[in-house]
Amino acid sequence: MNRFAYLIGTIALLFSMLSPSAQAQDKKATISMDLTYHQQNDDLPVLRVYASSKVERRFLPAEGVEIALFFEEETAQGFMGRVETNVRGMASLRLPAKYKNSWDSLTNFKFIATVTDNEGFEDESVEIDIAKARIALTLEEEDSVRMIYAKLSALEDSSWTDVPETEIKFIVRRLLSDLSGGEEELYTTDESGEASSQFDLTIPGDVNGNIIIGAKIDDNELYGNLVATKIVKWGVPVVKDNSFAKRSLWATRDKTPLWLLIFPNLIIAGVWGMIFYLIYLIYRISKLGKADKSI
């Protein structure tokens, strides 16, 4: 009887020790999300979301997380779509065209990102409120002086109003990242919402000298990320280098220079010719020797 009671007590103790670990395994991790608003020129905006989770006291990108995005309200009517984060924990979605009329008419709008019913993470929601704004970009050249002008306006009560005291950047779009297109890194709009800078850069463009110049606002609390760009012939035309297709030392084998084909072959032919000539002389000498013996 005592042994039976001891056995039951041991089993109960093991279950009590295993329960916390099982609960710890069932507990879902928390997820953190950052939702940002990006608009270029007059295109429909793009929503970008970054998801991360804390692992061993540091935040790491959360890969493969399905996130639902909503416009204005978290309902079926406001549902924009679902995205899945990549290896960097990032995902993006352009505002669907069906919301364009609402987006055009509203002065302020809200976007919502949610994670629900995820096997590895607890439910989470994040939202951003955006005031509608735009950047009007003007490029002028007079007497070899090139100027960039930008005007920031916000939509208020169905009319565009100037936005002063806001930081703005002038940029030149390149393949990997943007270059600063002004004399300073940042400019601040004046009372009229305008900022300007002289363009003095000498940089390569395409074959016609075209480059992309723009003005942008980064991570603004009210307006998000705005970019206005224009194509202008302010770059140095790039002349196509077709030398690789010509005969040269660095070209492919079928483009070997003619002199490199002719001279080595002449040398080889000369060496083999000398060898055959020596063989011929040896043959002649041997014949002469036989002729002398016969005499």
- CA distance to 47, 98, 110, per residue, from 79 (Å): 13, 11, 12
Write down the pLDDT at residue 21. Answer: 44
More confident residue, 16 or 157: 157
Structural domain span for residue 188: 133-232
Q: Are residues 44 and 99 in the same domain?
A: yes
Averaged pLDDT for residues 208-235: 95
Domain-embedded: residue 239: no
Contact 173, 122 (CB under 8 A): no
- The number of distinct structural domains making up the chain is 2
The domain boundary, picked from 232, 252, 267, lies at 232
Q: DSSP code of 29? A: B
Distances (CA, A) of 45 to 36, 95, 161, 195, 206: 10, 6, 21, 24, 28
| Per-residue buried b or exposed e for 123-156, using 16+ beta carbons within 10 Å of the residue's own CB | ebebebebbbbbbebeeeeeeeebebebbbbbbe
Query: Measured between alpha carbons, how far is 14 from 256 in angstroms, rounded to an integer?
Result: 80
One DSSP character per residue, 161-224 reads: EE--S-EEEEEEE-SSSEEE-SSSS-EE--TTSEEEEE-----B-STT--EEEEEEEEEETTTE
Q: What is the CATH number of the domain that holds 88?
A: 2.60.40.1940
Q: What are the backbone dihedrals phi and psi of residue 19, each rounded to the nearest 5 degrees, phi first?
A: -60, -50
- Could you read off the pLDDT of 255-264 as tens digits, one per residue? 888 888 888 8
pLDDT tens per residue, range 121-142: 999 999 999 999 999 999 999 8
Instruction: Give yes or no: residues 203 and 146 share one domain.
Output: yes
42 domain-assigned = yes
Asked if residue 278 is part of any domain, the answer here is no
**Residue 288: predicted pLDDT:** 80
- Residue 283 within a domain: no
Does 152 score more than 70 pLDDT? Answer: yes
Whether residue 145 lies inside any domain: the answer is yes
3-state secondary structure of 284: helix
Does one domain contain both 116 and 138? no
Alpha-carbon span 194 to 137, nearest angstrom: 10
pTM for the model stands at: 0.73
Collapsing DSSP to helix, strand or coil, 66 comes out as strand
Position 241 in a domain: no
Which CATH number do you get for residue 186? 2.60.40.10
Mean pLDDT, rounded, of the chain: 88
Interatomic CA distance for residues 146 and 234, integer angstroms: 9
Whether 113 shows a pLDDT value over 50: the answer reads yes
Instruction: List alpha helices for the chain, DSSP H.
Output: 2-26, 100-105, 258-294
Are the beta carbons of 200 and 184 closer than 8 angstroms? no
Please state, in angstroms and rounded to a whole number, the distance separating the CA atoms of residues 138 and 194. Answer: 11
Share of the chain above pLDDT 70, in %: 88
> How confident is the model at residue 23, as a pLDDT?
45
Q: Is residue 144 part of a domain?
A: yes
* Whether residue 86 is found in the same domain as residue 143: no
What phi-psi label fits residue 89: left (phi over 0), alpha (psi between -120 and 50 degrees) or beta?
left
On whether residue 66 sits in a domain, the answer given is yes
Confidence of residue 78 (pLDDT cuts 50, 70, 90): very high
Residue type for position 52 = S
Residue 263 φ/ψ, nearest 5 degrees: -65, -45
